[in-house]
Amino acid sequence: MQDIEKHLLHRDVQDALELIGGRWRGAIMTSLCGSPKRFSELKEDLKPITSRVLTKELRYLEQNKLINVERSTAAANSVLYTHSEHGSSCGPIILQLRDWAIKHREIMLEYLKE
């Protein structure tokens, strides 16, 4: 029983890190924390991401309900990306990770001095 739970624990962590891990997914979610954005704004914000990769990651996040995609029927070629309700709930966690990474860099730098 405990064994099963332990394994599930790891699997959940792996799931989470697949959802927001990788080179770009966390950064995309971070970028959308500030405000909804269009494709070109994301591309600019996340430079040097390519449109191929940005498209792919946005589709992934959409399929996993972390973002909403508003494809305006009125104005063609205008698509707005926003956090889904559930997607926005991971924002604070990602920001904690960011703070942790900043602290980590300081620690590593200090260590290199010695």
Partner DNA sequence: CTGCATCCAATTCGATACTG
Partner DNA sequence: CAGTATCGAATTGGATGCAG
Considering beta carbons, is residue 56 or 86 the nearer one to DNA? 56
Residue 100 sits in the site that holds a second copy (CB under 8 A): yes
Nearest distance from residue 50's CB to DNA, in Å? 5
Query: Taking the CA of residue 26 as centre, how many other CA atoms within 13 Å lie in the half-sphere pointing to its CB?
Result: 14
| CB-CB contact of 57 with 25 (8 Å) | yes
Q: Report the partner that residue 17 touches, choosing among a second copy, DNA, none (CB closer than 5 to 8 A by kind).
A: a second copy
- Rounded distance between C-alpha atoms, residue 23 and residue 55, angstroms: 14
Q: Give helix 25-34 / helix 51-63 axis angle, nearest 10°.
A: 80
Q: Which does 70 bind (CB under 5 to 8 A by kind): DNA, a second copy, none?
A: none
Closest distance of CB 64 from DNA, Å: 13
Nearest one of 101, 83, 80, 82 to 91, comparing CA atoms: 83
Q: Of 41-49, 53-61, 68-76, which segment contacts a second copy by CB under 8 A?
A: 41-49
Q: What is the contact surface with DNA in residues (CB under 7 A)?
A: 22-24, 38-41, 43, 48-53, 55, 57-59, 69, 71, 77-79
